[in-house]
Amino acid sequence: MSNQITLSINNQSISVPAGSTIMEAAQKLGVSVPHFCWHPGLSIAGVCRFCMVKVEGMPKLQIACNTPATEGMKVDTVSAEVKDAHKWALEFHLINHPLDCPICDQAGECELQNYYMKVGKYQSQMEDEKVLKPKALDVGDTLVLDTERCILCSRCVRFEDEVTKTSTLGIFNRGDQATIGTYQGRKIKHNYSYNLADICPVGAFTAKDFRFKCRVWFLKEAKTVCPGCSTGCSVNLFQNSNQREYYRLKPRHNAEVNGHWMCDTGRTMYEHLNASTRLSAPLLNGENVTFHAALQAVSDATKSVSADKVAVVFTAQFTSEEYSAVLNSLKTTLKGTPKVFVWREETETEESFDGILFRGDRNPNTRGMTEVLKQESVGASILKGDFSALANAGAELTLVFGPEVESAYPSLAKALSRFVELKKSVYFGNTLNEVAKKFWLRIPVKTFAEKSGTFVNFNGVAQKLKANPPVYPAVKAVDEYFADLGKLAQSAV
Amino acid sequence: MASFFSPALNEKIKGFLGRYETRRSSILPILHAIQDENDWISKEAVQALEAEHGLSVVDVNEVLSFYTMYRKTPPKAYRLEVCGSISCWLNGADKTISTAKDYIAAAEKSGKPVPFECHKVECLGVCGYAPVALVNKDRYLNVTPDAAVKLIEDYSNKDLPAAAKKCAADLAAAAQKP
């Protein structure tokens, strides 16, 4: 193709689209070129001077991030000359860096620290005192800024200018006095602020939500999907597997869905996963029972009613697999189709969108649920603020599949109190909730972090969840419960 | 609400905003225009640029804090700026500066202060007539210590420049506010 050019990096040949930089070609080839200011989701600044590479025919070393690749270019990233340049560039970055890694929250995932171990000089030749700058500045509800650790890569300034277009941050003063900051103590106020802590290559921006809670090397990450809204950002979920404790979510690059970023609302999606907020045992008529007894109660209840006296209330926060398991299982045991309702939050503005990622539909699988219902040819009525359709259905058994992320349902308590009024209502949920105690039967379920399955986002992109070990091992996912119910029904026959 | 800037200055600012491809590019000349009229650039002026002309305070402050020739605190009416670069330094600029500073300090002490401050600045580009000095925007050549003292005395006897008067009036008005 004419718009492709071929160059060689460390004697390996690679074809890239014309106009690509050496850095992009190196990334494509899997050659790592050390860098600070370059970020694939932001514009090129070329200020850190760290990504030096040797280009044959050019008298001096060039920066890989801002040098366009040309046909037949021969690039070298490993020679002694290049390594020497990296070493000295790093020495200059460290002139005023406090090197307080032992008390720095970024330690373990700090690019400066990693490169220092890799290409650092170890013995600094600097004799002058380090310049002292403001530390531990409160720059918003989510972030703390330490300007001494900052290496002035300007990633955060470009993020504010280009992604959120809020332009709250700037580089003030000059020379060794230059600092990142906001104007006159103004705060960073937008729904994407944690991304600043992510893209900061050093510990200058740290997240209030995470700092000093856990060292990053104790965390294991699982590739999964954010359940916060119908965008369904690809994320990494970080768990301390020794403590069975979840600490945070970070975005995972997915060009189809979220690019490099995710919103602050999505970052809170670890809070409902930990044991202290979770249901652990089933509750029948207000008393704790075994999981077997709970399922037996459901099984018995389904035997004595006809299909049109059973109501199923879905929220769009379960996996597609769970919806089909519920519908198929009930169709078999009831020998007919139950009445299906879809419960939507009454204050929800489903179509709203903030222009970056966050959508008004706070359910991760609305599209997946709709597809399953269509596939099973089940018609569903919507319950949004008005529950009369359900009340008039005259159901003798109601199965309510409550939202996993309760913060997305501000009027949850009101809605639940309506379900409680019904005869024999069963609640499948995962959080401790006073109103849910009043259900005839309450069964705990797994969260998105613990089950396998699929979420289909607003755009029809299906993504798989990754199952971590469950916080409460006896708790199962909805599809697993209904498989057990099927077995119970068979053994009874 | 009344504008922070005078009508003439507002017109100037609008002219600069329309002159360049990006609005950010006009920050340098706008700040110079404000400094020429008010004698310095206050926080209020920066905030007024955002409120009245839609320039980001962060962008303005980045420029303002980078350049040392913008005055960020209220100055004296006259600034004697003596070149301290190599030619002037060899021809006794240091002596000129120390004499001028001593004269200003002595006047202060005697109870008859002169509206002057003295700074060492970088090359003023007239090395053939070293030492060179500026009083506000007027250039003077061969400024020996005696010449510096004479400059201070001459200017002190003149009426204050308009910008200095406005600066003093603004400060007095600000002090009146609770």
Q: How close A168 gets to chain B, by Cα (Å)?
A: 7
Q: Which residue of A has its CA nearest to B44?
A: A184
Q: How close A190 gets to chain B, by Cα (Å)?
A: 16
b (16+ CB within 10 A) / e for A296-320? bbbbebbeebeeebbbbbbbbbbbb
Q: Are A427 and A441 in contact (CB under 8 A)?
A: yes
CATH architecture observed for domain A276-492: 3-Layer(aba) Sandwich (3.40)
pTM: 0.91
| pLDDT value of residue B34 | 96
The per-residue pLDDT for range B37-81, each reduced to its tens digit, is 999 999 999 999 999 999 999 999 999 999 999 999 999 999 999
Q: How close A436 gets to chain B, by Cα (Å)?
A: 50
The per-residue pLDDT for range A208-218, each reduced to its tens digit, is 999 999 999 99
Q: What confidence category does residue A122 fall into, taking pLDDT thresholds of 50, 70 and 90? A: confident
Which residue in the set A168, A173, A174 is minimally distant from B58, CB to CB? A168
Q: Which residue of B has its CA nearest to A182?
A: B58
3 state DSSP class of A63: strand
Q: What confidence category does residue A2 fall into, taking pLDDT thresholds of 50, 70 and 90? A: low
- Mark yes or no for CB contact A172/B43 under 8 Å: no
- Mark yes or no for CB contact A184/B57 under 8 Å: yes
Residue of B23, B44, B49, B65 best to disrupt the A interface, most CBs of A under 10 A: B65
b (16+ CB within 10 A) / e for B148-178? bbebbeebbeeeebebbeebeebeeeeeeee
Phi and psi for A269 in degrees, rounded to 5? -75, 10
E strand map for B42-158: 78-83, 116-121, 133-135, 138-140
Measured between its terminal Cα atoms, the distance across chain A in Å is: 67
Q: Are A56 and A74 in contact (CB under 8 A)?
A: yes
Beta bridge partners of B116: B78
Which residues have CB under 8 Å from B106's CB, separation 6+? none
The domain A4-93 having CATH identifier 3.10.20.740: the answer here is yes
Q: What confidence category does residue B2 fall into, taking pLDDT thresholds of 50, 70 and 90? A: confident
Per-residue pLDDT for A493 more than 90? no
Contacts of A173 in chain B (CB under 8 A): 65-66
Q: Determine the Cα–Cα distance for residues A361 and A26; give it in Å rounded to an integer.
A: 39
Q: Check if B43 contacts A (Cβ < 8 Å).
A: yes
With tokens 């003030």, the residue in question is A172
Q: Which residue of A has its CA nearest to B50?
A: A183
Q: Determine the Cα–Cα distance for residues A235 and B43; give it in Å rounded to an integer.
A: 42
- Mark yes or no for CB contact A183/B58 under 8 Å: yes
Supply the DSSP symbol for A293: H
- Please report the DSSP string for A194-261 in residue order: HHHHHH-SSSSEEETTTTTT--GGGEEEEEEE--SSTT--EEEEEEETTTTEEEEEEE--BTTTTBT-
Per-residue pLDDT for A1 more than 60? no
Q: What confidence category does residue A435 fall into, taking pLDDT thresholds of 50, 70 and 90? A: confident
Q: Are A320 and A453 in contact (CB under 8 A)?
A: yes
- The interaxial angle of helices B57-66 and B27-38, nearest 10 deg, is 70
Contacts of B54 in chain A (CB under 8 A): none
| pLDDT value of residue A331 | 92
Q: Determine the Cα–Cα distance for residues A74 and A55; give it in Å rounded to an integer.
A: 6
Q: What is the mean pLDDT of residues A15-34?
A: 95
- Mark yes or no for CB contact B43/A184 under 8 Å: yes
| pLDDT value of residue A433 | 84
Consecutive H or E run containing A476: none
Q: Which residue of A has its CA nearest to B59?
A: A170
Instruction: Name the residue among A338, A312, A334, A331 with its Cα closest to residue A425.
Output: A312
Size of interface A-B (CB pairs under 8 A): 25
Per-residue pLDDT for A192 more than 60? yes
| pLDDT value of residue A258 | 94
The CATH class of the A129-273 domain is alpha beta
Supply the DSSP symbol for B67: -
The per-residue pLDDT for range A388-407, each reduced to its tens digit, is 999 998 899 999 999 999 99
Reading across the β-sheet that carries B138-140, which strands appear in turn?
B116-121, B78-83, B133-135, B138-140
- Mark yes or no for CB contact B58/A169 under 8 Å: yes
Q: Which residue of B has its CA nearest to A165?
A: B56
- Degrees (nearest 5) of the Cα angle A202, A207, A213? 100
| pLDDT value of residue A126 | 86
Per-residue pLDDT for A492 more than 80? no
Measured between its terminal Cα atoms, the distance across chain B in Å is: 19
The per-residue pLDDT for range A45-97, each reduced to its tens digit, is 999 999 999 999 999 999 999 999 999 999 999 999 999 999 999 999 999 99
Q: Check if B44 contacts A (Cβ < 8 Å).
A: no
- Helix count (H) and strand count (E) of chain A? 12, 23
User: What is the C-alpha R_g of chain A?
Assistant: 27
Contacts of A183 in chain B (CB under 8 A): 57-58, 61
| pLDDT value of residue A436 | 87
- The interaxial angle of helices A291-303 and A478-492, nearest 10 deg, is 60
Contacts of B61 in chain A (CB under 8 A): 170, 172, 183
The two structure tokens encoding residue B76:
């004296």
Q: Check if B59 contacts A (Cβ < 8 Å).
A: yes
Q: Determine the Cα–Cα distance for residues A306 and A331; give it in Å rounded to an integer.
A: 11
Which residues have CB under 8 Å from B23's CB, separation 6+? B17, B54, B55
Q: Check if B10 contacts A (Cβ < 8 Å).
A: no
Q: How close B124 gets to chain A, by Cα (Å)?
A: 22
Q: Determine the Cα–Cα distance for residues A249 and A391; give it in Å rounded to an integer.
A: 39
Residue type, A399: L
Q: Determine the Cα–Cα distance for residues A67 and A70; give it in Å rounded to an integer.
A: 9
The CB density around residue A223, as the number of other CB atoms within 10 Å, is: 14
Q: Check if B65 contacts A (Cβ < 8 Å).
A: yes
What ranges do the domains of chain A cover? 4-93, 129-273, 276-492
Contacts of B66 in chain A (CB under 8 A): 172-174
- Mark yes or no for CB contact B61/A167 under 8 Å: no
The per-residue pLDDT for range A231-267, each reduced to its tens digit, is 999 999 999 988 889 999 999 999 999 999 999 999 9
3 state DSSP class of A287: strand
Which residue in the set B43, B56, B65 is minimally distant from A172, CB to CB? B65
- Mark yes or no for CB contact B58/A184 under 8 Å: no
Residue of A152, A156, A172 best to disrupt the B interface, most CBs of B under 10 A: A172
3 state DSSP class of A307: helix
| pLDDT value of residue A381 | 92
b (16+ CB within 10 A) / e for A28-37? ebebebbbbb
Phi and psi for A221 in degrees, rounded to 5? -105, 145
Residue percentage of chain A with pLDDT more than 70:
99
What residue ranges define each of the domains in chain B, with the CATH number in brackets? 7-66 (no CATH), 78-159 (3.40.30.10)
- Mark yes or no for CB contact B56/A169 under 8 Å: no
Mean model confidence pLDDT for chain A: 93
| pLDDT value of residue A348 | 87
| pLDDT value of residue A304 | 84
| pLDDT value of residue A293 | 94
Query: Cis ω on the peptide bond leading into residue B131 (within 30° of 0)?
Result: yes
Q: What is the mean pLDDT of residues B122-146?
A: 95
The per-residue pLDDT for range A355-371, each reduced to its tens digit, is 999 999 999 999 999 99
Instruction: Name the residue among A387, A344, A390, A381 with its Cα closest to residue A366.
Output: A344
| pLDDT value of residue A175 | 92
The per-residue pLDDT for range A441-484, each reduced to its tens digit, is 999 999 999 999 999 999 999 999 999 989 999 999 999 999 99
Q: Check if B136 contacts A (Cβ < 8 Å).
A: no
